[in-house]
Structure 1
Amino acid sequence: MYTVTLKQQQYKTYVLSEQASGSELEVVPERGGIITGWRVKGQEILYLDKERFANPDLSVRGGVPILFPICGNLPDNTYTYNAKQYTLKQHGFARDLPWEIEEVSEDNTTYFKLHLVSNEQIKVVYPFDFHLSFSYKINGNTLEIQQHLHNSSTTPIPFSTGFHPYFQAPDKTQLEFAIPAREYQDQRTKEIKFFSGNFDFNVDEIDVAFKQLTGKSATVTDNSRKLQLTLDYGDDYPIVVFWTLKGKDFYCLEPWSAPRNSLNTSENLTVLEPGASYQASIRLTANFF
C-alpha cells in the first residue's frame, strides 16, 4: 500500500510512502523539483546539506538535483548559438527553478510527476520552447526516475541532461567500487588516469569522469553502512561522474548524457528536432546486507 502526504515546511514537501517495504521518497517541486530524501527500511540513503537547502540563493548540495540543459560548467559560463552568446550557470537552470506538480498517483505504480515549461525568463539564457517532465517512482528498495522532453520550438533543441545524487558516506574509506571502466578523466587537469577500483580520499576534491564505459550498471558498496547501492543507466548516459569533497560525508555518482561544455563543442550533444520528444531513465537500488 502506498500513501502520499504533503508537509508544509519552508517548502511544500511531498512524501510518497510504501508501507510494505518501509520506503519513502520526499520531493520538493518549488526547489528545482528535487528529491530531498529517499529512505529504505527506515534508513536514509541520501545526503542533504540542510543549511544550503534553506537558502534559496544557494544551489542545493544534497538530494538528487536535476541537470538540464547542461552537465557541468561552461567556460566563463557562456555558449554560442546562432552567432549569439548566452549565459548559463553550472549544471543549467532546472535545479534552481520552481517546478509544478503534475500528477500524484496512489495505485500500484505510485509516482510523482513534475514539469518545467519554458518561459520568457528561461529564454533569456536558453532560447527554446520546451516541456520537460520527470516521474519519480519507488518500488520496494528501488527508485526509478523517468524524464520526458518535448520540443515545442520551430527549431532543434541542443541539450545534455543528467542527475547529481548525493549519497551518505560517513566513512569513505569503507567504500568499494564496481564501475565498468578502466580509466577516467580528471575533470580539473584533463589527465586520463588508470582506474584501480578505488580513490585516494586524502585529497581535497575528487572530480572525475568515466567516459569509456563497458557496462550499464555501477555499484558502490559501503561496508560501514552495510549498504550496496546500484545505479543502472541506459545508452542515453555514456558518462558517469564521481565527485566528493574531503571532510564531507557524501559522494556523488552522476549519470551524464554529455561532458562539460558540450553546448560549445557538440561532443555527445543531443539535438531534438521540432515537435519531437526525448525519453530517458535511470534506476537506483539500495540493498542492505
Structure 2
Amino acid sequence: MFSIERRRQQFDTYVLLDRASNSKLEIVPDRGGMITSWQVQGRELLYMDTARFADPTLSVRGGIPILFPICGNLPNNTYTYKGQTYTLKQHGFARDLPWEVVEQKTDGELSFTIGLSSDDQTLEKYPFQFRLEFTYSLQGQTLVIDQTIENLSDEAMPFSIGFHPYFLALEKHQLRFEIPATEALDQRTQERYPFFNMFDFAQDEIDWAFLETSCQVSHVTDLSRHTRITLTAADEFPLLVFWTVKGKDFYCLEPWSAPRNALNTGDRILSIEPGASLNTTVSFSIEFS
C-alpha cells in the first residue's frame, strides 16, 4: 500500500506513494529539503516554477520551501546579536541548503525524515549550533510536517520558522477564503486594513500579513477546481502571510512563527534553551466536492 521510490534526476527526488488514497508526495532533500509536488487522486495541488527550480543559484518559486531561522526579510538583510552584525537573506538559509535523508518508513505508515545541521557556513550567518529534523507524512488526503528543532549551543537560541507553500490556482477569482483574522498588514506599504476574507486580485502583488489570528485553522476553497484546502498549525505559528503575484497561477498561505525582523525586535521570537529541543507541527488537508 505504501512505497518510497528514489528518482535520480538533476536533484535526487524521493516519491512517496499511498495507493489506497491515490496520494503522492515528492521531496528533494538537496534542494532545501522541500516538497516539490503533492498530488491527491491524481490531481496536483502545488505550483512549481520549473525553470527556477532547475537553477541552483535562484530561490525556488513553488512547492513548499522551509523558512529558517527567519521568516520574511531583515532591514538591509542584517541583524545584530551581542554587538555583532550578521547577514541573513530573506527567509533564511534552510531552503537553499542540502538536507540529509534520515529515515524512510513504509511499514504501517508512510513518512520521510530529513535533517539539517549547523556548519561553518551557517555559523557565519547565524552563530548558533542546531539540528533540524523534519518528518513528512502522508495520511490519506492529509500532509503532515512534524518538526524538531534542537539547540546544540551553550546559550539560548532565538529563531523563527515557517513554510511557504505555493498552491496551484488557475482562476484566483474563484477562490474563497476562511482566514481567522479581521485585520491585515500590507507588508509592502506597512498600512493596516480591515479584512473581510477577500483580496483584490487586480493588484500586481498582494503581500499581507495576519499578525493576530483567532485560531490555528484556515481554509481555502477553489470553486473552479472543486477543492477545499485546510491549513492547521500548532500554537508556535500564530501568524499567517498571504502572497500572490498577478499573472502567476499560485497563491501562498504561509504559517510563520514570528513576523519580519523578529531577530532584531524580539517580537514573538521563539527561543530554545541550551541542549533543549522544540517539537511542532503543520498539516494540510484536501477535500474534493
TM-score, with normalisation over the residues of structure 1? 0.99
- Is contact 2:73–2:89 with CA below 8 Å preserved after alignment? yes
Q: CA offsets per residue over residues 84-140 of structure 1, 9 Å max, x none?
A: 000000000000000000001111222010000000111010111111110000011
Query: Secondary structure of 2:53's partner?
Result: helix
C-alpha distance in 2, partners of 1:141/1:263?
A: 36
Q: Which AA in structure 2 matches 1:163?
A: F
How much has 1:192 moved relative to structure 2? 1.1
How much has 1:254 moved relative to structure 2? 0.2
Are 1:273 and 2:247 counterparts?
no
Partner of 1:261: 261
Partner of 2:67: 67
Partner of 1:234: 234
Q: CA offsets per residue over residues 141-181 of structure 1, 9 Å max, x none?
A: 00000110111110111100000000000000000000111
How much has 1:188 moved relative to structure 2? 1.1
Q: Which AA in structure 1 matches 2:125?
A: V
C-alpha distance in 1, partners of 2:191/2:121?
A: 38
Partner of 1:200: 200
Q: What are the equivalent positions in structure 2 for 1:30-45 lying under 5 Å apart?
A: 30-45=30-45
Partner of 1:167: 167
Partner of 1:27: 27
Q: What are the equivalent positions in structure 2 for 1:71-82 lying under 5 Å apart?
A: 71-82=71-82
Q: Which AA in structure 1 matches 2:234?
A: G
TM-score, with normalisation over the residues of structure 2? 0.99
Report the count of equivalent residues.
289
How much has 1:271 moved relative to structure 2? 1.2
C-alpha distance in 2, partners of 1:192/1:109?
A: 44
Q: Which AA in structure 1 matches 2:148?
A: H
How much has 1:288 moved relative to structure 2? 1.0
Q: CA offsets per residue over residues 247-276 of structure 1, 9 Å max, x none?
A: 000000000000000000000001111001
C-alpha distance in 2, partners of 1:216/1:128?
A: 29
Q: What are the equivalent positions in structure 2 for 1:1-289 lying under 5 Å apart?
A: 1-289=1-289
C-alpha distance in 2, partners of 1:108/1:195?
A: 43
- Is contact 2:2–2:109 with CA below 8 Å preserved after alignment? no
Misfit runs of 4+, over 6 Å:
none
- Is contact 2:115–2:133 with CA below 8 Å preserved after alignment? yes
C-alpha distance in 2, partners of 1:148/1:109?
A: 19
Query: Secondary structure of 2:225's partner?
Result: coil
How much has 1:284 moved relative to structure 2? 0.2
Q: CA offsets per residue over residues 188-234 of structure 1, 9 Å max, x none?
A: 11111011211000000000011111111000000010010000012
Query: Secondary structure of 1:124's partner?
Result: helix
Q: Which AA in structure 1 matches 2:111?
A: Y
Query: Secondary structure of 1:200's partner?
Result: coil
C-alpha distance in 2, partners of 1:237/1:230?
A: 15
C-alpha distance in 2, partners of 1:76/1:126?
A: 16
Q: Which AA in structure 2 matches 1:9?
A: Q
C-alpha distance in 2, partners of 1:288/1:108?
A: 25
RMSD value, Cα: 0.6
C-alpha distance in 2, partners of 1:230/1:49?
A: 23
C-alpha distance in 2, partners of 1:126/1:89?
A: 11
